[in-house]
A = this chain, B = another copy of it.
Amino acid sequence: MTPDATDHMDLVFKALADPSRRLLLDRLFAAEGQTLGALADGLAMTRQAVSQHLALLEAANLVATVKRGREKLHYLNAVPIHEAHARWIAKFERPRLDALAALKQHLEGDPE
């Protein structure tokens, strides 16, 4: 068990935890290869704020970049999301609420 795996997963979850960053991922999903300026355009945030968000996404390896002249192009990388799903989310997907609801009713319905 590599400790790095946990660390990186933490970066991914933290990166996904912010609505602004999820918005940026959505924007990149709509059109990849956008520049920082294009991504920041129309948002209620400065270019620098967007840049910092993108830096976090890049640290989590959710976004990869290519420099082209004075521009920086941004691309999605879905691999970490896939990993998060595979090793973390998938195991919780079995429905368990039914059993809980039954138990809850049993306990609360129980006179005492």
Contact = CB atoms under 8 A, between A and B. Distances in A.
Interface of A: 6, 10, 13-14, 16-19, 22, 25, 29, 32-33, 64, 66, 68, 75-79, 81-82, 84-85, 88-89, 91-97, 99-100, 103-104, 107-108
A75 to B, nearest CB: 4
State the number of copies, please: 2
Nearest to A84: B89
Chain A interface mostly: helix
Contact of A104 (B6, B66, B108): B66
A88 B16 CA distance: 10
A63 to B, nearest CB: 10
Nearest to A64: B100
